[in-house]
Structure 1
């Protein structure tokens, strides 16, 4: 699998861009998966559901399955959060994995930058940033790829160009 991270400060538009990139890339025949880092104590399960009851009773893992989808929930119960490489190995092999978050992990990245956030650029401190998608021109001296944040086709082309140039394989 090839992968690229979408890295940027909160509010830069990573999730919005991902939601637009996925259909653009799948329309080109790619099988795409995503891996999203959650910064908060998130929970997909709901009180009153059997799966929630199983987890609350102490089950280490709960696998829920239906005719439409399945999901595996694993409780860490004090264990450290698994690193990115361990999480990636849990995904089925696909053409491309888009990783949201994990901006400090050593993977190739596309920086997502929105000027209105007032945040600094990430690329000066991260040599693994291969391209930028932003709502302003890249800083003077930037010699990587650049696309307008709202030009999904151009962003997809950046990702595909870097995939063709040999983004790392996982597994």
Structure 2
């Protein structure tokens, strides 16, 4: 399994990731995504058995049927999750996209808007060696792709992804 990071907030990152998944699936690359959520979330439904079990102290709940399964883990007062550790919970696949893990020490690309006024992540993160931008890139930008160059971005990711550390 290989892993690659995709960063960039408010930049069209989710649309890009969706289009990349379509392209990689077309190429028969089995892909998984580990998505960092910057806000609290709950995938469970209030009143369900698994929700109630979690509310009374169950730390892990695995729910399954013939179509899918999901593991919910309660991790109160823990540091930010490590995508490499999380990846070890995934079934065998060809490629893992770690989306939104801005400080993970993994090779990656930054999705950005040309009109953005914030400091680009690539300026302070040596692991970001590629940007995907919707217009003219900054003059000091590393390797650059346009948002709509999905085939070449997918090829680049496959070449730059690294084996998942043991």
Could you say whether these structures have the same fold, taking a TM-score greater than 0.5 normalized by the shorter chain as the test?
yes
Query: In the alignment, is the contact (CA less than 8 A) between 1:11 and 1:117 conserved in 2?
Result: no
2:143 matched to 1:140?
no
Query: In the alignment, is the contact (CA less than 8 A) between 2:114 and 2:136 conserved in 1?
Result: no
Residues 1-171 of structure 1 aligned to structure 2 (within 5 Å):
1-8=1-8, 10-142=9-141, 144-163=142-161, 167-171=162-166
Unaligned runs of 5+ in 2: none
**Residue correspondences, number:** 166
Query: In the alignment, is the contact (CA less than 8 A) between 1:32 and 1:98 conserved in 2?
Result: yes
* TM-score, reference length from structure 2: 0.90
Change (3 A) 1:114 1:47: same
- Give the Å deviation of 1:115: 2.2
- Give the Å deviation of 1:81: 4.5
Query: In the alignment, is the contact (CA less than 8 A) between 1:88 and 1:170 conserved in 2?
Result: no
Q: Over residues 66-120 of structure 1, what are the superposed CA-to-partner deviations in whole Å (9 max), with x where a residue is unaligned?
A: 1110001011233444423221211122111111111111110111111233322
- Give the Å deviation of 1:141: 4.0
- Is the deviation greater in 46-55 or in 119-128? 119-128
Question: For residues 27 and 133 of structure 1, what CA distance do their matches in structure 2 show?
Answer: 21
Query: In the alignment, is the contact (CA less than 8 A) between 1:131 and 1:158 conserved in 2?
Result: no
Q: Where does structure 1 differ by over 6 angstroms across 4 or more consecutive aligned residues? A: none
Q: Over residues 39-60 of structure 1, what are the superposed CA-to-partner deviations in whole Å (9 max), with x where a residue is unaligned?
A: 1110001112111111112111
Question: For residues 94 and 47 of structure 1, what CA distance do their matches in structure 2 show?
Answer: 32
Question: For residues 136 and 115 of structure 2, what CA distance do their matches in structure 1 show?
Answer: 13
Question: For residues 133 and 158 of structure 2, what CA distance do their matches in structure 1 show?
Answer: 18
